[in-house]
Amino acid sequence: MRAPTHLDEREFRLDDEHDPLRTIRGRLAYPGGAEEAGAPLAYVLVLHGFKGFMDWGFYPALTRALVARGLAVVRFNFSGSGVGDDPERFSEDAAFFANTPSREVDDVERVRAWLDSGAVPWIDARRGALLGHSLGGAVALIHAARRADYRALVGWASCATFRRFPPEVETLWRRQGHVEIPNLRTKQVHRLGLGWLEDLERNARALDVLGAARRLTTPALLLHGSADEAVPLSEGRAILEACAPGVADLEAVDGANHTFWAAHPLSGMPPALAHVLHRSADFLAERCLART
């Protein structure tokens, strides 16, 4: 891994004038001096997973690794993440309750539209890539299959389906109108509304992750821990099998769990995480920095 160059950061915020629960808070990171250099940068759009947030555990280290390669990094909190103005605190219960997979896909579209508008002149919106972890990997797949204009896609422990709950939990969910989601990090219990489940039923085709994988034309690298306790390696294999030949590669990271042994806050650098950072940075730099 290369030593990080000087890194500049600035925050951004995208409000929805029709829905106060749809605010996107994000951060741009880029090599120092890029604003004055006159040569727009390729970028990586980073998508966190369920109960995650843009500054969780490995995301700052990932950002430094990508900026060291000359890439800009755009990371943000999904509007329904539950994380508000304080980037470390779960404070927006209503936004989390109202979240749905379709909202997350729409959030990515909103950020991409903002970049396409030229709002950040030192980013070249035509040379972009995606990196998503867990549920963020599923969102990235659906978005990439729709757009078909990204240079690369990296999935870390990507989910092959948004339907993560057993039938008996779904039955209780329908009866009480919400499902309780424990947060082991904060010791809070969050409530997710019935809208999530209804969205999966109403928009089953649009939210079919394996269907998106079958349509994918973006070169993809899938990195998945062999000991993933949350999203089994079989889901990574299912995504690979759904992709057309030559579109995607899957690497099983021996002995790694769902977060490649990272925790929040990140303390030290687990070997599994160091490996996926290196592989991801190599893959993304090779494809995004090419001028063709």
Query: Among 273, 215, 287, which residue's Cα sits nearest to residue 61?
Result: 273
Q: Which helix (H) or strand (E) holds 193?
A: strand 189-193
Q: Quick check: is 190 in a domain? A: no
Question: 15: part of which helix (H) or strand (E)?
Answer: none
Average pLDDT over the chain reads 95
- Nearest CA to 98 out of 192, 219, 198 is that of 192
CA distances from 146 to 51, 216, 217 (A): 25, 8, 10
In a domain, 194, yes or no: no
pLDDT tens-digit readout, 85-128: 999 899 999 999 999 999 999 999 999 999 999 999 999 999 99
In a domain, 172, yes or no: no
Q: How many domains does the chain have?
A: 1
C-alpha triplet 268, 273, 277: angle, nearest 5°: 115
CATH of the domain at 87: 3.40.50.1820
Cα distance between residue 157 and residue 244, in whole Å: 20
154: closest CA among 55, 24, 62?
62
Element (H, E) at 192: strand 189-193
Write down the pLDDT at residue 268: 95
What are the tens digits of pLDDT across the range 141-154? 999 999 999 999 99
> 59: domain range?
7-164+205-288
Residue 18 · residue 80 · CB < 8 Å: no
**Is residue 79 domain-resident?**
yes
Per-residue pLDDT reduced to its tens digit, 159-178: 999 999 999 999 999 999 99
With respect to residue 191, please indicate whether it lies within any of the assigned structural domains: no
**pLDDT reported for residue 1:** 42
Tell me the C-alpha distance between 198 and 216, whole Å: 26
- Whole-Å CA distances, 123 to 105, 127, 128: 22, 8, 9
Average pLDDT over every residue of 219-241: 98
Q: Look at residue 171 and tell me if it is in a domain.
A: no
pLDDT for residue 3 is more than 50: no
- State the alpha helices, DSSP H only, in 177-262: 195-202, 209-215, 233-242
Read off the DSSP letter of residue 261: T
Domain assignment of residue 174, yes or no:
no
DSSP 119-163: SSTTEEEEEEEEEEETHHHHHHHHHHHHH---SEEEEES--S-S-
Token reading at 223: 């990195």
Confidence of residue 5 (pLDDT cuts 50, 70, 90): low
- Here the tokens at position 36 are 């004055």
From 52, 57, 198, 73, select the one nearest 138 (Cα to Cα). Answer: 52
Any domain includes 175: no
Phi, psi of 24 (to 5 degrees): -105, 125
